[in-house]
Amino acid sequence: MKPGTQNEVEGAIHEVKGKIKETVGRVTNNPNLEGEGLGEKIGGKVQKKIGQVQKVIEKP
C-alpha cells in the first residue's frame, strides 16, 4: 500500500476511534476520556489530510 493511502486509512481509523471515545466519555460523564477522544479524532483528521497530500505528490 502506498504511503499516502496508508496514512489516509490510518487517519480515518483514528478519527472513528476518537469519535467513539468522545461519545463514550460524554455519555459516562468522563471528561478525560472525552478529551482523549477529541484529541485522537483531530489527530486522525490531520493524518488523513497528510495522506491526501501525499497522494497528490505521488502522482506522476
pLDDT bucket at 2, cuts 50 / 70 / 90? confident
Give me 30's grid cell: 468522563
- How many domains would you assign to the chain? 1
| Distance, CA of 55 to CA of 9 (rounded, Å) | 12
Q: Which three cell numbers stand for residue 52?
A: 491526501
Which range of residues forms the domain containing residue 43? 3-58
**pLDDT at position 1, please?**
83
Q: Which of 55, 25, 60 is nearest to 39 (CA)?
A: 25
Mean pLDDT, the chain, integer: 94
DSSP annotation of 1 reads -
**Model's pTM, two decimal places?**
0.85
pLDDT tens-digit series, residues 30-54: 999 999 999 999 999 999 999 999 9
**Mean pLDDT, residues 22-32 taken together:** 97
